[in-house]
Each structure stands twice: as C-alpha cells, then as structure tokens.
Amino acid sequence: MSFTKNLGKFEDDMRTLREKRTDPGWSFCDYFMVQEELAFVFEMLQQFEDALVQYDELDALFSQYVVNFGAGDGANWLSSFCQPVRSWDGLALRKPIDMEKRDLIQKQEATLLDLRSYLFSRQCTLLIFLQRPWEVAQRALQLLHNCVQELKFLEVLVPPGALDCWVFMSCLEVLQRIEGCCERAQIEANLSHMVGLWSYATEKLKSLGYLCGLVSENAPNSEDLSRTVDLLAGLGAERPETASTAESPYKKLKEALSSVETFEKHYLDLSHATIEMYTSIGRIRSAKLVGKDLAEFYMRKKDPQKAETYLQEALKTYLMEGWALPVAHTRKQLAECQKQLGQTEYYLQTSSLLAGDTHLTEEERRYFCQEILKFANQQMGSQGTSILLALDSLAQLKNLHFEPPTAVVHVGGTLSVEVTLWSRMPVAVCVDQISLNVHFNIEKNSYRKTAEWLTKHKTSNGIISFQSELLGLAMSPQNMPAIELYEMHEKNPADSSLTTSGVICKNTHMLLRWQENSTFLETPTPLSLDDSANTMKCSSVTLQPGLNVVTFSTQAKKAGTYTLRQMAASVGRLQFMLAHIYPLVQYDVYSQEPQLKVQPLTGSLLAGIPQKVKFTVTTGHYTIKNGDTLQLSNADAMPIVQPTGVTATIYSNSQEKSLQSTLTVQSSKKVTSIVLPLAPAYHVIEFELEVIYHLPAATVEGVELVNGDVPRSRDQQRSESCMATSDQKLSIDCPWSIYSTIVVLTFSIPFKAEHTLLSAGRRKYIQVCVQNLSDLHFQLLDNSLRDICDCVDLQLVPLNARLEQHIYSKQSVFFVWELLWTKERPLTLQCCFSVTFCPISVEEQFASLKPFSYEFQVDHIFSLYSVKADIFPPLGAEYCQMGSLCSLEVSIMRLSELLEVDKDEALMESNGYCTTKLLYEVVDNSSNWAVCGKSSGVICMPLAARATHKVHMEIMPLFAGYLPFPDIRLFKYLPHHSVHASQLDADSWIENDNLSVDKNLDDQADNSSIKSRGSIHSSSSSEQKGLPMPRLQAFSSAQVFNSSTGMQILVIPNKDDHVLEVNVT
C-alpha cells in the first residue's frame, strides 16, 4: 500500500514537472532522467509494457519539439543538441543500458545521435523482453529516416558521409541483434520486416562508395583517401562487446572502405541478398529497383554486359505497369549500355523509342533522332542488309480512309487509300518509300457477289480508326482487347462435303502482345515485305512532326478480297515496319455480270390502272453499244402503255449521276423494243415504263350459294380485307445474253364484289356490294347488271339514284336492282355486273380502262312460304302485362303451287293432293319471352297456293316496354334413309294444330290432329330404342318471307312491382 502511494506521488511529481516545460529554465534532459526512473521501476517489476510506454512518451515529446523547431518555434534547451556531429559509431544494442550515453544525457552534453541511440537501445531491450523483435526492425527503419530529417531541421553540421556511416552501422547492428535472439526459421518467415533495413544499408554503402571513389575504373585519389580516413576516424574504437565478433558492423564498414575490391564484394553481397529477399516476399518492383542500382554500379565499373541484364528486367517491370517516366530514364541508361556493347540494332530501336518519347527534353529527343538518321544515311557496305525496326517508334497509324468509301471497286477501277500518320520524331524525316503489303484472297463463287452484297457490311464513311496507346507501354489487363472469334469451315472441293470445322481467333496478335511485352523491347520479327503487284507504294515522303497524310492509289486487276497486312517505311538503311494492321482492313474487287431488274415504284402494283415500273440495268463488265435494245414480249392481259418522252438516267459505280438520255421506245402488237443509251462498263441505267394489267372477270365458281351468298369459312373471313393477287410473267431479251429473262410482276385486284338476293313479299331484289380494298380512291361510272342468258321475260330495274359515285379506300358501295317477270320465273339466274372506274387523284380519264365485271348465279328465286306472327293480350286486358301469359299465333301460308324444287323425298301424294312436312320453331335469342309448352313442332303442309296453317301457343313477357317478336324459323322435314323409318306412323310426328285449306279437307285434318295427341311419347320411346331420326333442311331467306320481322309490341309492367325494368330495343 505504501509502495503504491509512493509510486502515485512520483507520477504526480513527474506530471507536474512536464507541465512546466514551457518555463524558460526547463530542461528536457532533466525531465528525461525523472521519467526514466519510473521506467526503471516498471522494468524491475517486470512490467515491460509500462516501461516501454515511458520511453515512447519521451520519444514523442522530443520529436514534437524538433518539429516545432523546424517550424520556427524552438526551445532553448534544444541548442545543446545542435552541436556538430563528431562521432558516428551507430546504434549500440548489445548492452541493456549504455551508461556512457546516459551520462552524456544527464550532463546535457549528448548530441542528437547520442540521445536517439540511447533511447532506441532502451526500447529495443524492452521489445526483446516482450518477445516482439520484428517491431524492433520496424521502429529502427523509422528511427533512421527520422534522424536524417531531424538533423536537417536542427541544422546540425554533419561531415560528408558521416550520416551514411551511422545509418549503415545502425542497420547492421539491428539486424545482428534480431538474428541473435531469433531462430533461422523465424527470420525467413519474417523477411518482410527486415528487408527494409537490408535495402537501406545497401543504399548507404553505395553512397559511401561513390563518395570515397571506390566505384570507378581508376583507384581512389588522394582526396578520396583523405575522406575515407576522416570517416573511419569518426567511428572511433570498436566497442568491447563487438570486438570479438568476426562480422561486426564496425569491421564490415572498415573493411568495405579499405579497398575497391572489398567494397565491391560487400556491396554485391548486400545487393544480391536484398534482391533475393524482395523476390521471395513478392516485392518484384523493389527488387528491380535494387537491380537498377546494380546496373548503374556496373556501368560506372565499365562493365555494360552485366548492367544490361538488370536494366532489361527493370524496363520490363516499368513497361508492364505503365510507368512512363521510369521507362524513359531506364531506356536512356539502356541505350548507353547497348551503345557500349555495340548492339547496333537494339541501340537504334531504343533510340527511336527515345526520340519519340515526350517525357524527355527536346534536346535529348533531337540527339537520339540524329543518332538514327546518322546511321540511316551511312552507305550500305559489307555490314549487311537494312535493319528492321518497329514502325510505332517512328510514326503511329491513326486512321485510314478509302475512296470510294465503300471500299468496293470493280475490275479495272481505281482505289485510293488515304493513310493518316502521326510522326513521333521531333524533326522532319525524309522517308524514301512507304509501302502497304496487301494479301490477295480469291473466294469460291466470288463472281456471284455484286457491289450491293459487298457493301452491306462496310462502314458508311470508309474511315477505319486505330487505337492510340502510349509509346512502348504495355496495356493493363483491364484494357486488353476482347477475344474475337469466328467459325471456320473447310469443304472438300470434289463433293462440297464438310471436312474441317473449328474456331479461329482473329486478333491473336493483339492478345499475345501482352506476352510480347515481357521483354524489355518488342524485337521485330525478321519479315520482309512482298515486293509484288499487290504492294501499294508511295515514294519520297517527308514526315513532319505531328499529323501527316499519305495517299496510295492502285488499279484493281483481279476479283477477290484484299487485306492490308503490313506497313513499312524505308529511311536509308533502316526499315520501319508495322507487322500487323489491326483492326482488319480489307477492300473488295468484284467482276459483275450484267443484270436487269424490274420492280414497281410503289409497294405493290394495282390491276386495272396504269402502273409505273422501274427498269434497272446494271451493265457489269458489259459495255452498252450503239443499237443495243431490250425486247419485251407483250401479253394480252398486260400490255405496255405507249410512252412519250421516257428519260433514262445513267449512274456511275459510286451512285453518282453521270448523264440523262431520252429513250427510243417502239411498240408493236407482240413486242416492245427499248433502245438503250450508250453506257460504259460498271454503270447503272434506270428508266420507268407504264404497264397495265386488265382486271379479269370476278366469278363465284365451285361454291354452293345459300340465298345468293357465298358461305364464308373462317379463313375467308380473315382474308376479307386482303386483296387478291395475280402473277404476270414478262419475257425480256437482253443484248448481253442469248437467253430470255423472265420477270414476274404481282398485281393486286383492288375490288371485291359480293351479291345478295333480297325479298319483300313476292318482290325480289339483287344487291351487289363492291368493296375497295386498296389505298386509292376511285370514281365509279356506268354500273349495269344484265342477264347473261338474255331472257326476254326478265327485266332488271335499277334502283340506284346516282350514275357516278366515289368509292374511298377500305369502303364499300352497294347497287340494287329489282327483278320483274312477265311470265313464269326461272329456277336460276345467270347475271353479270360491270362498272367503269378510274382513280380520283388522276385528272385525265383513261378511255382504254376496262370495266370491273362480276359474274354470279342466283338460285332459289321463288318465295315458297310466308310466315306471320301475332301476339294477343290475355282475355279482358287491353295490353300485354309483364309476367302474364299471352297468346302467340303463328300463321304459315303457301305462296305457290307445286314447283320443281318441292319434288324431293319429303313430298307425299294422297288422293290427288300433294303435301310436305315442315318443322317450325319459336326462338327468342334476346330472352325477352318465355315460351310455355312446346316451342317447335312438325306440320303437314299442302302444296297449294294460299294454303295456311296456324299454330297457337302461350308465351310470357319477361320485361316491360316495346319488345320485339320472337323469331319464327321454318325447316323442311325429311325422313331418314332407312327401312325402319319408312315403317313409322307418319301421323305420330304431326302436332295437334289446325289445318285449313277448304271444307273437304277439314275432317281429314281433324282426324289427323286427334291421332297426334300422343306423339310426344311415341317419339321419345322411339328415340330411346335407337330408331333413326329424321333430317332437317333449311330454307333460304328468299324462299321464306317473315312479315313479322322487326315488329314490336307494348308490354306494361305489373302494378305491384317496386322496381321497373324497361327493355328498349
């Protein structure tokens, strides 16, 4: 308890002393001794962590005062630490407490290096007690760097090389102290903490070697020897604790400075050890930096052979990581090394790269450029052929422009290639010749490729740009180009069967460039340009610094694909070469056969009116001569409209208009001759002619008509809005071929017609609907309907008010005629409808246009039956009431005598009277009525004019308001084709209805009605027994006239209803 109290009082007194540090008489050395006593106490108690904290606080406090002194706020007591350095014997870490230096601190006579050495020795001892030797290495490296800066802040006079000696010996002392307390395995596992000290020691030893003249071809001079003696004197005598050590820091430094050979030995040992450590821990860049220092050492020793290896390795690292400034500096050293070794080609390549490097000064660039030009202007003698260098060092390919822009020319045509180069040289360079090496590839069936096909995948402006990159620097992995793959198929020429299939990479050279940059220099592959007809050349070109445009021109000779592979520039004995041009640059040469193309000007051709057709003649390799004509065979259905003033336009291969010429067109009954204008090869002639395809007569064939209408299937209903088409073949004889060219033109029929037979009692009408399915508007004139058989007893009376009508796009026009007979009506009627038409947008009327005609046949003209329905309110009521039963009376009346259409299997003859069976049905699809009882039944109808049958039933209105009558349907009742069906009682199918023809037939009708009361049971029992059922045959709408269609009756609501429902139709 007393110890704790005393320790606390001591800490309070120490804290009070520290707070007085701003007083004028305060001394850091006195305070140092006080706080160190506290550290000693903790150390004796084996509280090493607390003891270390005391020294760290002293270290931080002193460092802060030094920084403040450097900023101009200095303390008086710091003047004792500003005295010149007279001893630089390094750190002393072998003893737990260096009493000599402690005494100097206590007497306030210690220098900055003395204070720092003593303070670090105490920290080192405590860290080793704490088993943290690797922290010693980290703190030591920090201490050495800080001491160098603190000496500058305090402006302490330090003899040249003294600080280097102190740092070198301190590094070795720390390393040996750590090695003495750790095992070998631990040291190898923690090299990352120690390699910094090795590197710092190597750097300081190199500085001492340069300072003492130990790094040169010659021996040190007297001045160097005198400096060496002074430095060794500052080391003093070796400490007793290291005197028995064979490789103490003192002995190593003294031995290294004793001679050139021993210095080289120690320096190389340290450098190689440092490089090995950096490499083992993966710090390749630091290892290359030490290697670069070694290269500089060898260059000073006039041994460039050994220096080259280290410079290459360093340059490789800088290139891969993209360090532009270190690349330029290393290349300068490498160029000097290569020059001393006599490596002419490598020296020129490096010089060309340096001449184009903007990180160098203008004078340096000019020097290296002159080195290149000096060698290029030498006479080529016995030294051999020209030297091949990379073109990128001389100039960079920026873009390439084809003329024509499509990069497609015909055989015999001229193609120009405009190349834009960026010259990297600081001065103008006269180039003897720039050449493009072109690879020719002829493809199978290339004669079929036209200019349109070849230009489909070409760039629109004909400009290909090339990627810019920093000279000599490798691409980072993020900027590497994407892999471009395409399929490869190889077929057997004999039977065109597939023999080989695979995948080829198109940009292998770009992807492998990353691997090529692994060397310090992209050594050009010894390739030579093919000096053949496929090489474009441009001579005597002066490349000014910056952008330059060089134009190449060539005449196409063979059809095929040409690929620009390489580019080279010759300057005297030097040849700068671009081994691969990427992206892929190609131009195509085609040889085209003459072609004739006929196509409509609009999207589709309409039949019936004149339409313009465009003729395109591609001359290809054929030259149109005087007298060459196109012979068109005229067809009766599609004649050529006699043209006047037809003009042909001639275009060049690049779609530029050359000239216009008036065509001479001669037409006869069978042939139309068109005299072509004179045109050279690979030109295009365009002109227009008018053709007309006369409308064929529209007919309805092979389809059974129901009430005069064509039954429509689902597919027909979908295609109602689509125009019918007709293909017409046109035969053309061309002067360049002995064979005729067949051209198919598709015409669309703009109109569609339908007919309907309408009835009003015994009166009959024919309605014709004309639909305009096209996008044009037409004017209809002179419509007519006639009987094809020219029946004199038939009269077609038109009911159309206007003779001229407009029919607009996607609309319909209806025409109606009434049928009048003077004698007996025919069973069928053959009709032909025709109407004259012309487009509204055309001012002139075409007199030669044929009218649109539509032929059809009408069956079942006669009305056989008339159906009438009446609804009566309940007895005693004035109106029908919702929910009350009403009476429905259906009257079916025969309108004509026995006709040919009635003679079928349903006809029955008895006692001179002919009858037939009919089935009626009452249907209400709108759900306005409820039929009470049977809604259908079978009646036996006499085939006599005005024979009438009435049916009564009860119905109930479900809504109030004016309700339409329910529908009355009538069918012909046909027996089944079966023996069993003929044996059935016919009266069992007859319903209990009243039949009224005349008095002679009343009894017979009543008897038959009485027999039919049990018909429901008999029919159902027959059905259950599997007997065959009769068939129903529907009448056409013209054969049955329903006079109640469209009639309505008033139904009043119930008085008790609170909710009124009204149906309005």
Task: Report pLDDT digits (tens) over 775-785.
Answer: 889 988 888 89
Instruction: Detail the DSSP E strand segments found in 663-789.
Output: 664-667, 671-675, 684-691, 698-699, 725-733, 740-748, 751-760, 763-772, 778-787
Whether residue 766 is predicted with pLDDT greater than 80 in this model: the reply is yes
Confidence band, pLDDT 50/70/90 cuts, at residue 6: confident
| Average pLDDT for 817-831 | 82
* Of 105, 136, 99, nearest in space to 120 by CA: 136
* Of 100, 137, 96, 94, nearest in space to 115 by CA: 100
pLDDT value of residue 1015: 34
For residue 404, is the peptide bond before it cis, meaning its omega torsion is within 30 degrees of 0? Answer: yes
DSSP string, 932-980: ES-SEEEEEEE-STT-EEEEEEEEEE-SBEEEEPPEEEEEEEE--SSHH
pLDDT value of residue 453: 58
pLDDT value of residue 944: 85
Confidence band, pLDDT 50/70/90 cuts, at residue 522: very low
Alpha helices in 815-877 (DSSP H): none
Q: Which is more confident, 1009 or 320? A: 320
pLDDT value of residue 363: 93
Task: Report pLDDT digits (tens) over 181-240.
Answer: 888 888 888 888 889 999 999 999 999 998 898 887 777 888 888 888 988 888 888 888
The token pair that represents 390 in the structure block: 């990379």
Neighbours of 536 (CB within 10 A): 20
pLDDT value of residue 734: 93
| Average pLDDT for 460-464 | 78
Task: Report pLDDT digits (tens) over 1053-1063.
Answer: 987 655 656 66
pLDDT value of residue 711: 44
pLDDT value of residue 1021: 39
> Are 886 and 871 contacting, i.e. CB atoms less than 8 angstroms apart?
yes
Average pLDDT in the chain:
82
From 324-333, 567-576, 631-640, 864-873, the region with the lowest mean pLDDT: 631-640
From 208-212, 828-832, 912-916, the region with the lowest mean pLDDT: 912-916
* CA dist list (Å): 400 to 451, 462, 590, 611, 810: 21, 8, 21, 46, 55
| Average pLDDT for 103-123 | 90
Confidence band, pLDDT 50/70/90 cuts, at residue 964: very high
Give the list of residues 6+ apart from residue 572 with CB closer than 8 angstroms, or none: 373, 375, 376, 377, 378, 432
Whether residue 1017 is predicted with pLDDT greater than 70 in this model: the reply is no
> Are 638 and 699 contacting, i.e. CB atoms less than 8 angstroms apart?
no
| Average pLDDT for 117-128 | 92
What is the Cα 1060 distance to its own chain's centre?
66
Confidence band, pLDDT 50/70/90 cuts, at residue 1033: confident
| Average pLDDT for 148-171 | 90
| Average pLDDT for 603-626 | 88
Neighbours of 8 (CB within 10 A): 10
The phi and psi torsions of 547 (rounded to 5 degrees) equal: -75, 140
Whether residue 543 is predicted with pLDDT greater than 90 in this model: the reply is yes
Residue reference for tokens 């227009």: 688
Amino acid at 34: V
The phi and psi torsions of 586 (rounded to 5 degrees) equal: -140, 155
Whether residue 863 is predicted with pLDDT greater than 90 in this model: the reply is no
Task: Report the C-alpha gap between 974 and 1032 in whole angstroms.
Answer: 6
What is the Cα 582 distance to its own chain's centre?
22
Task: Report pLDDT digits (tens) over 702-758.
Answer: 333 333 444 444 455 445 568 888 888 889 999 998 889 999 989 899 999 999 888
Whether residue 1026 is predicted with pLDDT greater than 70 in this model: the reply is no
| Average pLDDT for 481-506 | 80
Q: Which helix (H) or strand (E) holds 451?
A: helix 451-454
pLDDT value of residue 833: 92
Whether residue 365 is predicted with pLDDT greater than 90 in this model: the reply is yes
Q: pTM here?
A: 0.58
Whether residue 120 is predicted with pLDDT greater than 80 in this model: the reply is yes
Whether residue 457 is predicted with pLDDT greater than 60 in this model: the reply is no
| Average pLDDT for 429-436 | 92
> Are 691 and 633 contacting, i.e. CB atoms less than 8 angstroms apart?
no
pLDDT value of residue 202: 93
Residue reference for tokens 């460092």: 63
Whether residue 519 is predicted with pLDDT greater than 60 in this model: the reply is no
Q: Find which of 3-17, 419-433, 496-510 is predicted with most confidence, using mean pLDDT.
A: 419-433
pLDDT value of residue 487: 84
From 12-21, 55-64, 428-437, 1025-1034, the region with the lowest mean pLDDT: 1025-1034
What is the Cα 682 distance to its own chain's centre?
36
The token pair that represents 88 in the structure block: 């630089």
Task: Report pLDDT digits (tens) over 56-85.
Answer: 999 999 888 888 887 777 777 888 888 888
Percent of the chain with pLDDT over 90: 25
Percent of the chain with pLDDT over 70: 85
pLDDT value of residue 499: 78
Q: Which is more confident, 825 or 861? A: 861
Confidence band, pLDDT 50/70/90 cuts, at residue 541: very high
Give the list of residues 6+ apart from residue 518 with CB closer than 8 angstroms, or none: 316, 320
> Are 258 and 248 contacting, i.e. CB atoms less than 8 angstroms apart?
no
Confidence band, pLDDT 50/70/90 cuts, at residue 108: confident
The token pair that represents 887 in the structure block: 């009476």
Task: Report pLDDT digits (tens) over 980-1000.
Answer: 333 333 333 334 343 333 333
pLDDT value of residue 188: 84
Task: Report pLDDT digits (tens) over 772-813.
Answer: 998 889 988 888 898 888 887 788 889 887 778 889 999 999
Beta pairing, strands 725-733 & 740-748: antiparallel
The token pair that represents 231 in the structure block: 């430095």
Whether residue 556 is predicted with pLDDT greater than 90 in this model: the reply is no
For residue 583, is the peptide bond before it cis, meaning its omega torsion is within 30 degrees of 0? Answer: yes
